[in-house]
Structure 1
Amino acid sequence: MVTTPRPIIDSVVRSVCGRGVERLVPLTGGGMNETYRAEFAGDVAVVVRIARQPTPWFIDEAHLMEQARAVGVPTAQVLGLEHLDHNGELLSFSIQQFLPGRSLQQVIGELPASDLERLVMDAGEILARVHSVVPDDDRGIRHELRLPEEREVTRVARVVRETLGPAAAAVVERGADFLRQEVATRPAPPFSLAHGDFCPKNLLIHEGTVVGVIDWEFAGPASPAYDLAQWEVDAGDPLHDRLDLVRRGYARVADPESADAGLTPAFAIDWTLEKLGWKNPASPAQFRRCVDVIARYTAS
């Protein structure tokens, strides 16, 4: 990944925060962006996210984060947005409040089973609050079920056949048929605000509590089933098989069955087909998980 020169980062942070950066620490994650912790004197810090996109970035994200925070979702305050040209390339900066803690993904192995289950249920409650937001149609990324293209399905099946064998390729083709049927027969669902990447890596845990939901870059209008499906596909072992815990927490605020509207299988298969077709392949564990999810939902 191309990194932004330190003097540019220092200048942008100073313009937003009015203070000079003493230490800049790269952070893991952050999706497609550079992400840093910028530290000031006195143990004060902010998060700096930098995107390289053809149009100004992070504007919709900041708006949707504010909407989510207004209904009780723990998320960082965006302190400022800046956009500047550097060598003919647009750089977008989001300077955010620093939230303490580590991701749920990082601490899974350190937690007693009872604490892990409690945190996942708390995450489900938070997700229901996210979904309580009525989204702006023109803000964020809209997530809808997509009709599989025959040529793309053929390509993905070929990749899966080469990686996992002919039985797995047949599962992919069944999944595409299932998704075509769902798109053709199900009415369009009502939209809520969806986080767009709701999984353990984006939940910050501090002192036994979920203190932050991070990385709202893919947030936007969608069926609540979209987030539930992403958890099932992407949460990782052992949590990807504990969507029941997410739903139990969700039920503290809203009915998960009504929110889901029977669409989680379709969204899960839609997402797995996309991941299986990535030009930069998913990890072997993710690859196998995608096929397993399709197999479960298309078993006769």
Structure 2
Amino acid sequence: MDEPRRARLTAWLRAATGEPKLEIERMALLSGGAIQQNWAVDLSDGRAWVLRTDNAATLAVSHGRAQEFALLRAAFAAGVTVPEPLYLCEDATVTGAPFFVMRRVAGTAAAHRVVKSDTLGGSREACVRALGRELARIHTVRPPREDLAFLGTAPDDPCRAFIAEQRAALDRQRLPRPVLEWGLRHLERTAPAPVTAVLVHNDFRTGNIMLDESGVTAVLDWEFACWSDPHADLGWLCAKCWRFGNDAQEAGGIGPRAALYEGYGAVDDARVRWWELAAHIRWASIAVDQAERHISGVERNLELALTGHMVPGLEWEILRMVEARDAG
């Protein structure tokens, strides 16, 4: 961050905290964050924060920073293991975009390291049990909530609402995606009965969960949260596309599905499997959108371009899953 923006940020933080002597000792852009930027902020008195702000281009379906800050506050109050949200700034003139500040926590979220470790989170089974408990806490947040009014009205039928949203997402693409349409039609034909919607993280997966040797230290990246079927989060975590090559461990490439269910509580496995297929369709659609950010020239970025190359593999998995479900 350049010196003029850093000076404006320092002045804003002094006003927000009521600490006129507050000084930023160091700022560093953290790795990851294709959609958002995360900056490590070290204060001269030893406090360690993270500043989260927008990248040059964002996905239309992602929340803004004010909304994500409200979601963090709701999750924190519900006992979910999240970084404590501290300050929100909606004035884009301070750093160039709205941002919020939260406490920095220890641990790693690096997916390729997490799925190879037998000790992060305590052990593989202990870790996914803990993840099940985190999801159960998230799902205690239920509509209506005045502080989460931006999420809109909860759908009466979350599965049908998902199908409608994905069909609209496919309709806006430049190119046809027949495999995704095929998978979506299968979901439509096999949709389970409606359930009461709750708050779902909507991106609860390996890579968005901070771990150390003792357990879960933070659930990150709430920018896609919505009201939906709680099984959507379980299906997203169990989707093969989030196992990062460790396919035998069905819960995020970390541990066994049974332990995840045990940590969560009552689970309808058939409904989770429906949402697993939904997860592959949704991620493929997001990957197409990510690639379009690069192709359009809005944000030239190798990571975004490479994300588009994941789509054929996702389509292959969708065809395999539909065939297996039809055979079953």
| 1:287 has 2:311 as partner | yes
User: For 2:265 and 2:106, how far apart are their aligned partners in 1?
Assistant: 29
Secondary structure at 2:86's aligned position in 1?
strand
What is the SS of the residue equivalent to 2:265? coil
Say if 2:259 is the partner of 1:242.
no
CA distance in 2 between partners of 1:92 and 1:193 (Å): 24
Contact 1:75 1:213 in 2 (8 A): yes
Structure 2 SS opposite 1:200: coil
CA distance in 1, matches of 2:186, 2:308: 24
* Corresponding position of 1:190: 196
Paired residue for 2:88, among 72, 81, 84? Answer: 81
Give the match for residue 300 of structure 2. Answer: none
Q: Contact 2:83 / 2:104 at 8 angstroms: preserved in 1?
A: yes
Q: Which residue of 2 aligns with 1:124?
A: 132
Q: Deviations over 1:44-93 (max 9, x none)?
A: 21111123789x94333233223322333111111111121439x97212
CA distance in 2, matches of 1:292, 1:79: 43
- Kindly tell me: are residues 128 and 287 of structure 1, through their superposed partners in 2, closer, same or farther at Cα, counting changes over 3 Å? same
Aligned residue number for residue 274 of structure 1:
285
CA distance in 2 between partners of 1:109 and 1:145 (Å): 29
- In the alignment, the residues of structure 2 paired with residue 83 and residue 154 of structure 1 have an alpha-carbon distance, to the nearest angstrom, of 33
Report the equivalent of 1:25: 28
The match for 1:61 is: 68
How many positions carry a matched residue from both structures? 284
Which of 42, 54, 60 is residue 39 of structure 1 equivalent to? 42
> Which segments of 5 or more consecutive residues in structure 1 lack a partner in the other structure?
158-168
1:166-185 correspondence runs (5 A): 171-182=179-190
1:95-106 matched pairs, under 5 angstroms: 95-103=101-109, 105=111
- Given that 1:145 and 1:266 are in contact with CA atoms closer than 8 Å, whether structure 2 keeps it comes out as no
Task: Tell which deviates more after alignment, 240-249 or 57-66.
Answer: 240-249
Amino acid at match of 2:262: A
1:125-173 CA-to-partner distances (Å, cap 9, x unmatched) read 211221222143624477741332675689243xxxxxxxxxxx6x445
Offset of residue 294 of structure 1: 0.9
Q: Cα offset for 1:123?
A: 1.4
Alpha carbons of structure 1 residues 45 and 112: separation in structure 2 relative to 1, 3 Å: same
Letter in 1 for 2:26: R
Partner of 1:298: 322
Larger displacement relative to structure 2 (19-28 or 45-54): 45-54
TM-score of the superposition, structure 1-length normalised?
0.77
Q: Do the aligned partners of residues 85 and 177 (structure 1) sit closer, same or farther apart at CA in structure 2, a change above 3 Å counting?
A: closer
* SS of residue in 2 equivalent to 1:133: coil
Aligned partner of 1:145 in structure 2 is 162
Do residues 11 (structure 1) and 31 (structure 2) align? no
In 1, Cα distance between the equivalents of 2:279 and 2:248? 12
Length-normalised TM-score, structure 2: 0.71
- Helix, strand or coil at the partner of 2:91: strand
Structure 2 distance, partners of 1:260, 1:236, is 23
Change (3 A) 1:285 1:210: farther
Which runs of no fewer than 5 residues in structure 2 stay unpaired?
294-304
Residue 51 (structure 1) aligns with? 54
Q: 2:37, 2:54 within 8 Å by CA — same for their partners in 1? A: yes
Aligned letter for 2:53? I
Q: Partner of 2:44: helix, strand, or coil?
A: coil
Change (3 A) 1:85 1:72: closer
Tell me the distance in 2 between the aligned counterparts of 1:201 and 1:3. 31
Output the CA distance in 1 between the equivalents of 2:3 and 2:52.
11
